[in-house]
Amino acid sequence: MSTPVPPPTWGPLRSFGRIKSRTLKPRQAALFDSLLPTIAVPDPAEGPFDPRALAPDGAEIWLEIGFGGGEHLAEQAARRPDALMIGCEPFLNGVGSALRHIEERGLKNVRLHAGDAREVMAAMPDAALDRVMILFPDPWPKARHAKRRLVQADTAAEFARLLKPGGRLRFVTDWKDYADWALERFLKTPGLAWRAEAADDWRVAPSDHVTTRYEEKKLGDTAPVFLEFSRL
């Protein structure tokens, strides 16, 4: 049996900005009522849950934190129907977009949490995940706001706790300071090993990377930096 999951040690600071920007389109609003309840992960407020119960037959379990509009999540799910994709996103318009992608593509291997990924992480047992993917999280570029970044010492330790031995963590950002910040914290996290051996390993997108509309906007101050880690 898994040992009880201790409460998270991070503070209440949000690592994300706005939750909603515009009125949901009628179709997306309808999907919140019809589709989301059928594919939502168990409510972490109700206690620990094991994602392996959602993925029978030993399927891999991937977690994407902050999936934006859901293009990456949906494409990875379509490419890997043998894996369960769990996506967390607090931005309701993004959740609505992801629901549309899921419905249109008839995806059966996606589960969503319309809220803070840290809630879901804290409710999972050790070594529950095969992959964790964090693509272009809110950079909080001002120094006084850096404490709001998703990647902190505590969250890095959570990623290591949740990954199986040999599991993979991918972090992508187009802000140089955040890349340096994240790399420093990941390198200090016991159990995580940086996979880079040459500059192209962080400058060139991995072969299975999916470019999203956000990435194409080039809103950061550098070309995307791809940091890939393995769980020892």
What is the predicted pLDDT for the residue at 24? 86
**Identity of the amino acid at 90:** P
Please tell me whether 46 is known to bind a ligand: no
Please tell me whether 142 is known to bind a ligand: yes
Please tell me whether 89 is known to bind a ligand: yes
Is the Cα dihedral 201, 203, 204, 210 positive or negative? Answer: positive
Question: Pick from 72, 75, 67, 117: which is nearest to 95 by CA?
Answer: 67
Partnered with residue 227 across adjacent β-strands are 171
Catalytic one of 138, 177, 201, 221: 138
Pairwise CA distance, residues 65 & 32, whole Å: 19
Q: How do residues 129-186 score in pLDDT, each as one tens digit?
A: 999 999 999 999 999 989 999 999 999 999 999 999 999 999 999 999 999 999 999 9
What is the predicted pLDDT for the residue at 8? 41
In a domain, 58, yes or no: yes
Residue whose pair of structure tokens reads 């549309």 in the numeric block: 100
Q: Once rounded to an integer, what is the mean pLDDT over residues 62-86?
A: 97
In a domain, 20, yes or no: no
**Could you tell me if 230 and 159 are in contact, meaning their C-beta atoms sit under 8 angstroms apart?**
no
Q: How do residues 199-212 score in pLDDT, each as one tens digit?
A: 999 999 999 999 99
Whether 208 is catalytic is no
Q: How confident is the model at residue 17 (pLDDT cuts 50, 70, 90)?
A: very low
Q: What is the chain's mean pLDDT, rounded? A: 91
In a domain, 6, yes or no: no
In a domain, 1, yes or no: no
Q: Once rounded to an integer, what is the mean pLDDT over residues 103-112?
A: 97
Please tell me whether 215 is known to bind a ligand: yes
Q: How confident is the model at residue 9 (pLDDT cuts 50, 70, 90)?
A: very low
In a domain, 17, yes or no: no
What is the predicted pLDDT for the residue at 19? 53
**Could you tell me if 61 and 87 are in contact, meaning their C-beta atoms sit under 8 angstroms apart?**
no
pTM exceeds 0.75 for this model: yes
Partnered with residue 84 across adjacent β-strands are 61
In a domain, 224, yes or no: yes
Domain around 170: 26-42+49-231
Tokens of 231: 């769980």
Q: How confident is the model at residue 21 (pLDDT cuts 50, 70, 90)?
A: low
In a domain, 182, yes or no: yes
CATH number at residue 146: 3.40.50.150
Please tell me whether 57 is known to bind a ligand: no
Please tell me whether 138 is known to bind a ligand: yes
Quote the number of domains for the chain.
1
